[in-house]
Amino acid sequence: MGKETKKPVRRTFVVNSAGKRLKDSLLFQVGRVCVINYGPDVNKLCVILDFIDSNEALITGPHKITGVVRQSIPFKRLSMTPMKIKICVSQTDKTVARAMTEAGIWKKWLKHPWYLKNERKKKRLALTDFDRFKVMLLRQKKAQLIFRETLKLKEAIKNGPGTPSKKTLYWRAKRAGENPDYWRTKFRDPKHKILARRKRSRGRKRSTKISAEKMAAKKAFSAKRRSDCARGKHKMNKEQKLATRKKMPVRHKRKKKKGMVFRSDRAKAKKIRLEKLRAYRERKAAARAKSKEEFDAARKATQDPPAGDSKRRKQPTVNGEKISYRKAKKEKVDA
């Protein structure tokens, strides 16, 4: 892979030596000057010499100028600059150093905003408590100067060409000790054309008056409601509640289909369900008891008879020595 390699590409905002931000496409290519953004050599300059693969590159400082040793580094840890030198692939540190001095890379780097920002950070970290106090006082002085200058500019704009507003004239007269008329009209003139026309005291929706009969009916309804609330429906008898309740129209009765359960039959249905459940549980318990009995019987049948039982086989012996059943079977020894 040589000088003509155009991969990988990174779209970046380039900052030139003047501090202007330029949008440009920068390429990782042989001879590109980069800044290391992570690791032991952070914020140091280096030059790309070759591409190892799509993730790593071979770089050098060289060590004599920037303090970076020849090494491989991932592209993630490199931030590109607009500076570039003309070199071939994998050249020696001596050749790279000569190319850098000819191009004046180090002088450009010393004026670069990136380098200046790092230097400012270092200075701030090195400040003592007293130095920070001095910086605070200087900032206060700076803020006062800026504030005074802005006031002067504002006054110049006010006193400049152009007619000032009524509000400005009013406050100027006030400051001078005069008693001018207020710049905004406080009260409307009742003899004004538009105001004279308006006679309605309420909106159009509320302007229509309701009849005396409707008003009386409304009052009667509200009085009845208040009395009902005071009495409380929960204190009423069953007969009173039935009297106050509206009579609903009689509905036609539905024909009872198969499987349908009406409200009257719910208690009956519940009783049936409980009986079914009881029967099911009894069947289950009987089945469990039966299976347990069968299991116990089978277990007893498989177990060996007790020691005193005559049915138990005796161990076969030959000349007073015990032998296995299999051996006895082969030799046909009587047990």
Tens digit of pLDDT for each residue in 287-322?
A: 988 888 888 887 777 665 555 555 556 777 777 777
CA 29 to CA 3: how far, in whole Å?
6
For tokens 């710049």, what's the residue?
183
CA 298 to CA 231: how far, in whole Å?
79
Over range 6-29, report the average pLDDT: 57
CA 282 to CA 275: how far, in whole Å?
11
CA 86 to CA 100: how far, in whole Å?
9
For tokens 């409601």, what's the residue?
225
Q: Residue 23 — φ and ψ, nearest 5°?
A: -85, 120
Determine which of 149-163, 194-208, 309-323 has the lowest per-residue pLDDT on average: 194-208
Cα 135 to its chain centre, rounded Å, is 40
Report, in this order, helix, strand and coil percent for the chain, each rounded to 5: 50, 15, 40
CA 329 to CA 211: how far, in whole Å?
126
Closest CA to 93 of 49, 148, 136, 52: 49
pLDDT (tens digit per residue) in 171-180: 888 889 888 8
Q: Which residue has the higher pLDDT, 121 or 202?
A: 121
Positive or negative: CA dihedral 273, 275, 281, 286: negative
CATH of region 9-121, choose from 2.30.30.30, 1.10.3080.10, 2.60.40.1080, 3.30.365.10: 2.30.30.30
pLDDT (tens digit per residue) in 209-251: 667 788 888 888 888 878 777 766 556 667 766 766 655 555 5
CA angle 31, 47, 38 (to 5 degrees): 140
State the pLDDT at residue 6.
47
Quick one: which H or E segment has residue 268?
Answer: helix 266-302
Closest CA to 16 of 143, 103, 113, 154: 113
CA 176 to CA 169: how far, in whole Å?
11
Judged against a pLDDT cut of 50, whether residue 9 lies above it is answered with: no
pLDDT (tens digit per residue) in 36-76: 999 999 999 999 999 999 999 999 989 999 999 999 999 99
Quick one: which H or E segment has residue 215?
Answer: helix 212-231
CA 48 to CA 30: how far, in whole Å?
5
